[in-house]
Chain A
């Protein structure tokens, strides 16, 4: 396998007055799948396009296996890329599409068709190899695009929101397939998405981007449990924002004191950031501090929305079995389950 590591250092890119990347740094290890996650306009796609050579950075360097490729044109970079949609060549059959990269590398026809069939077999589409791309469904087209990107054994695989145009069920299946293939081929992969579930579910590490900079780069678990900033905390997963007062490194939430985890110079009036699953709702309590607004049954778990006396809306995620006594309008007691909470300035 020809997989290599990828390093971006100090990359900046502006489009007119808009700064897409601001001194951006990123390292992806050999065989690793790293996702770049962020809201639209955060610069994640620009970062990917700079790696692909489809945009040229204003400053900074792109290294593949320590080799500077900053000025290498896109067609010489040996990177497989899967686009959002409609990137297949409509004049070619499925197998010709997959063999295209090898054809450009002047690989003999028999060899490249054999390789194309291997890849199509891997994505479960070998039976469709003679069809034209417009005869395939959206999910099948993206599978072909994936096979095409992998057929010439790229050093890096680049995925530019490859699932965003697909139906929900197809998205889930295909993202797992991408991960399975990536693991079995060991291809270093950079995956750009705005869908946190997608990023968290298949990546080794996730980089959360905001306004052209990397806010945090960590494993999905660490991002969720130890967000480095209020932005990451708010962007990854659902987060309650509960007003509180810091005193002696502690905040008082729903009447009990917990340790405040600071990420900056937070003091005085702050908001505590608490995950829904870290809040329990107790029915029939002698000291009620909130009212239930709605309860949404979601199978194994239920989502309870409450309102405290001061009007704050609080969301709790509990096992459905323990929410039998919770009805809209009933008085309840909210309780923080964790011993420390992240705080942020208001």
Chain B
């Protein structure tokens, strides 16, 4: 099977949009963190993801130029696309909720992200491999941090335990999409450009289970997964939350097109 630049462009949007949307969510915590150290940590993790998202979207714009004659810049892609044009994971756009919910979202994502980036760092597409090799070092710190919080909250007070468990349960149905590959992604996997996310489920599950065991938390049992078929965030079918997120994120460029400072 062969792929073309339009496929590659789509795939890069999936990588970039997930990072950018996640970064925007984390940025919403600034000034609202439970303690100063965590306010700073949430912002820093968001900043790393924003930086990674920029690298993916810059590359996406270059690829778009190759097959369309003119490609969009990272800013045009981030600020001037409508919700249905976004290709991020549904998990990334879920609201912050309380600190436990943000922690659960981050924990599920970070462990997956480390596995994904490790796999991508041997992509035959050199640019993808280079971005992934840089990003995985950052993602490892993110995973270490979110793991630490799952342990502290799970094995903490009755209140923190209950909130952590409830957050893990609530977001569980968004984790299936992380391991689903549609035909577009499968084509890029055969070409060894994309990472095959399907075999990542086992090591991910093992890591999650280990941490939850130690945190005295139960592994959620639900089997029904949102967007795990071929109609999820990666195909541009989103939950209601993305539109609200973009309204804030894109406001300035929509109201004052091309504004710079």
B is bound to A: no
Residues of B at under 8 Å CB distance from A?
none
